[in-house]
Amino acid sequence: MKLTVRMRLFSILFGTLLLVLLAPGSSSARTEQVFRLDGGNATYAFGVNERGELQTLYWGGRLGPHDSVPAAHSLPEWASFDSPNTNTPQEYAGWGAGLFTEPALKVTFADGNRDLVLHFVRATPSGAQSLELLLKDISREIYVTLHYSIDPESGILARFASIENRQKQPVVIEQAAAAQWTLPPARYTLSYLTGRWAGEWTVNQEPIQGGERVIESRRGTTGHQANPWFAISRDDSQNTAGPITADEEHGEVWFGALAWSGSWRITVEHSQLDAVRVTGGFNPFDFGYELKPGEHLETPVFYGGYSDHGLGGASRLLHRFEIAHILPHAPDPKPRPVIYNSWEATEFNVSEAGQEAMAEKAASLGVDRFVMDDGWFGQRKDDHAGLGDWYVNSEKFPRGLKPLIDKVRSLGMDFGLWVEPEMVNPDSDLYRKHPDWVLNFPGRPRSEQRNQLVLNLARSDVRQYIEGFLDKLLTDNDIAFLKWDYNRNWSEPGWDQVPVDQQRRVYVEFIRNLYSILADLRQKHPKIEIESCSGGGGRVDLGILHYTDEVWPSDNTDPFDRLSMQDGFSYAYPPQVMMAWVTDSPHWLNNRRTTSLSYRMLSSMQGSLGIGANLNNWTPDDFATAKRLIADYHSVQRTIVGGDLYRVISPRGGSEFSASETVSGDKNQAVLFAFTHSTQEGRDFPLLQLQGLEPDAEYKLGWIEGKALPGTPESASGAWWMRHGLQLDLRGDFQAAAFRLDRQR
Ligand code: GLA
């Protein structure tokens, strides 16, 4: 199949290039050009219209190999108010010539001209499944290279742009998208994720109506408040006026995710002519990237995909793609070690003896990795001091970290450590020495959050300092893992060491330096693994996930709250990267909520498992329960974190019940988790009809926790589990069950 795709693409590109060579600049020749990318179950096609614009032609289910896509023709003016370039769905529209829809690119030239009209110059194949297209302004020397590649397995496209100034004067880029996507005219429902600290991953769903929905972060970082992901489901009941609901397992869904950990923006626009357009890239708010002659700016990558199996199908494709292409150890990242983390148990009160005692208890449970959180460095007694001073606190660890690390290693675990490299407390040696290293506007107040300021990582000296201390920490100590935290957002984002016209580059250079430090550290210390944390899920995106092995989805570890958060998280990111700790009950956040240890364990076992409870307070029974469930988890972990996820019953919207299922890629195993919130009136747990099994294969049922109502077979066909289904014996408040199905040979 791959070969056909490649041949088809080459023949298209060959044809394209021929046309350009034979008739350079001739618009009649250009209009014949259609570019087509096929992968998975998707086809993406665009072409050059008679005006020279690059126009979207098709994005949807895969077309036949010999089907042709009609050539591009720009849409006419609508009365005298909407111009052809506003009406025509362009692949990457410059702001100029009366463009009223969202532009991909907006610039100001040195002479004050702000008109930019991008026309096609040429296309070059850049690989078997990728293309580069050059656009240029109609008169000025501004060039844009659009990069496209399609993943042959999932059909997910990766798109980004590179903008080059070949003028003799600087040009300021005020808005630069990675890509614009156009969907066929229809009625749609938009899904997107919002939140706040301790309340991330809320799924919002709403009909797409006239106007524009903006999802964004202006915070200098990805943010808890919105996540750079979207999904758009086609509404099948086009002729009804009733409520629109996106379907989990059926129907067409277009989705995308932006790989950027700085201020970002995605707009979903329903135009005056009913076109739906998605534009995403750098957030234009306070943006202004000056390009000197000869310089270029590369945008982040915007990934986009298509599924005709509903939102569930969309997230399964995205998970597979992230595991196969995004993560540092793609295509085969190892399941995450089961960790113990000290934060909720000891907070800042860490010491050699205390951590060693905890490590012994953690090891007895079968934990693989012991992570010491905040509090080990500088004068860190609480969150008022110490950030920036990355030396070991000699009162807490008089002999350094080595004895603790040796102890952890001798217990058969590896060792991880918490750092927050981009931050500084004003009460620190670093700040006293370098007060100018933080983001600030001279003479203006420096707003603190959690008593800390943000180091300006765009500066090369700051970059060097951060990489230097991290490199030394990893060189001097046997550290397998860093939990890389980032506990506030930007304020006063000034950078006064560079000329005024360069200062807004901070939005880009900060993030690029962050990525390059992570890349350098990984290269120098190939065994290191890293978690991206930002007060929970404030920095989760496909940009950071290229350099980090896992993320911390939320500081909220309440096992019931986590069910809906994990459900929301799973729309965009795979269980593989989703760390989930079991912590104490009653929980500190919803402080009267008490849950059993097995409920908490099962809630966390849906992702990459960790223990964050104070083991000093555990009973022998607790140890026995956790040990048993960790062993069970280890035995099915690959399926849970790397399999196909089905959100069987959503916990959202005040549901009394929830259930999720994962099926291994070879369909040899399925694992199902089920939870109640509070059943009412004696109602039974809903019938569970499993999904994704091989109908003709025989599967044996194995209980991890709980049981089914009498009469459930111990073994049955995939068809039985999927069609007849089983009924759990699960009622009451905060109850949980889990089982596995193993294929019999
Ligand atoms: C953040 C993290 C927590 C913990 C604390 C330590 O809030 O999300 O997990 O590491 O910082 O200060």
Write the CA distances from 59 to 72, 134, 320, 369, integer angstroms. 14, 21, 20, 45
Give residue 684 CA to ligand 1 midpoint distance, Å.
39
The average pLDDT across 594-617 equals 98
The average pLDDT across 401-409 equals 98
- The residue contributing the CA closest to ligand 1 atom 11 is 535
274 is catalytic: no
Give residue 485 CA to ligand 1 midpoint distance, Å.
7
Residue 239 has what pLDDT?
47
The answer to whether 244 and 189 are in contact (CB under 8 A) is yes
745 HSE (CA, 13 A, CB side): 1
Ligand 1 neighbour 536 (Cβ under 6 A): yes
555 is catalytic: yes
Torsion angles phi and psi, residue 321, rounded to 5: -65, -45
Ligand 1 neighbour 531 (Cβ under 6 A): no
Question: Best of 344, 373, 482 to mutate for ligand 1, by most ligand atoms within 8 A of CB?
Answer: 373
Ligand 1 neighbour 581 (Cβ under 6 A): no
CA distance linking residue 481 with residue 479, whole number of Å: 6
Ligand 1 neighbour 550 (Cβ under 6 A): no
CA distance linking residue 427 with residue 387, whole number of Å: 8
Looking at beta carbons, which pairs linking 48-53 to residues 24 or more positions away fall under 8 Å?
A: 48/72, 48/120, 49/73, 49/74, 49/88, 50/74, 51/27, 51/84, 51/85, 51/88, 51/119, 52/27, 52/119, 52/120, 52/138, 53/85, 53/88, 53/90, 53/93, 53/118, 53/119, 53/120
Give residue 483 CA to ligand 1 midpoint distance, Å.
9
Q: In which band, very low, low, confident or very high, does the pLDDT at 716 lie, cut at 50, 70 and 90?
A: very high
Write the CA distances from 598 to 404, 481, 621, 640, 740, integer angstroms. 30, 27, 11, 17, 16
Question: Which of ligand 1's atoms lies nearest the C-alpha of 383?
Answer: 12
Q: Which of 373, 485, 561, 644 is catalytic?
A: 485
Ligand 1 neighbour 537 (Cβ under 6 A): no
Residue 30 has what pLDDT?
57
pLDDT, tens digit (0-9, with 9 covering 90-100), for 684-703: 999 999 999 999 999 999 99
* Torsion sign, CA atoms 542, 547, 550, 552: negative
Question: Which of ligand 1's atoms lies nearest the C-alpha of 536?
Answer: 8
Give residue 225 CA to ligand 1 midpoint distance, Å.
18
Q: In which band, very low, low, confident or very high, does the pLDDT at 16 lie, cut at 50, 70 and 90?
A: very low
Q: In which band, very low, low, confident or very high, does the pLDDT at 636 lie, cut at 50, 70 and 90?
A: very high
| DSSP line for 553-598 | -BS---HHHHHHHHHHHHHHS-GGGBEEEE--SS-SSSTT----HH
Q: What is the pTM of this model?
A: 0.95
Q: In which band, very low, low, confident or very high, does the pLDDT at 246 lie, cut at 50, 70 and 90?
A: low
DSSP state, 128? T
The answer to whether 532 and 327 are in contact (CB under 8 A) is no
497 HSE (CA, 13 A, CB side): 13
Residue 28 has what pLDDT?
44
Question: Which of ligand 1's atoms lies nearest the C-alpha of 533?
Answer: 8
pLDDT, tens digit (0-9, with 9 covering 90-100), for 532-564: 999 999 999 999 999 999 999 999 999 999 999
Q: Which residues contact 701 (CB under 8 A, 6 or more apart)?
A: 708, 712, 713, 714, 715, 716, 726, 739, 740, 741
Ligand 1 neighbour 487 (Cβ under 6 A): yes
Residue 661: pLDDT over 60: yes
Q: Which residues contact 334 (CB under 8 A, 6 or more apart)?
A: none
Share of the chain above pLDDT 70, in %: 94
Give the residue among 223, 349, 147, 255 at the shortest CA–CA distance from 570. 255
Give residue 371 CA to ligand 1 midpoint distance, Å.
12
Give the residue among 244, 236, 270, 254 at the shortest CA–CA distance from 311. 254
Residue 15: pLDDT over 60: no
Residue 5: pLDDT over 50: no
Give residue 536 CA to ligand 1 midpoint distance, Å.
7
Task: Provide the residue type at 544 as one letter.
Answer: I
pLDDT, tens digit (0-9, with 9 covering 90-100), for 98-131: 999 999 999 999 999 999 999 999 999 888 899 9
Q: In which band, very low, low, confident or very high, does the pLDDT at 493 lie, cut at 50, 70 and 90?
A: very high
Residue 312: pLDDT over 50: yes
- The residue contributing the CA closest to ligand 1 atom 3 is 535
Residue 23: pLDDT over 70: no
- The residue contributing the CA closest to ligand 1 atom 6 is 374
Ligand 1 neighbour 535 (Cβ under 6 A): yes
The average pLDDT across 253-267 equals 98
Residue 550 has what pLDDT?
98
Residue 188: pLDDT over 90: yes
Q: In which band, very low, low, confident or very high, does the pLDDT at 241 lie, cut at 50, 70 and 90?
A: very low
CA distance linking residue 36 with residue 717, whole number of Å: 42
Q: Which of 82, 374, 555, 632 is catalytic?
A: 555
Residue 557 has what pLDDT?
97
Give residue 158 CA to ligand 1 midpoint distance, Å.
33
Q: For residue 724, how many other CB atoms are within 10 A of its CB?
A: 14
Ligand 1 neighbour 226 (Cβ under 6 A): no
- The residue contributing the CA closest to ligand 1 atom 4 is 343
Give residue 678 CA to ligand 1 midpoint distance, Å.
31
Ligand 1 neighbour 485 (Cβ under 6 A): yes
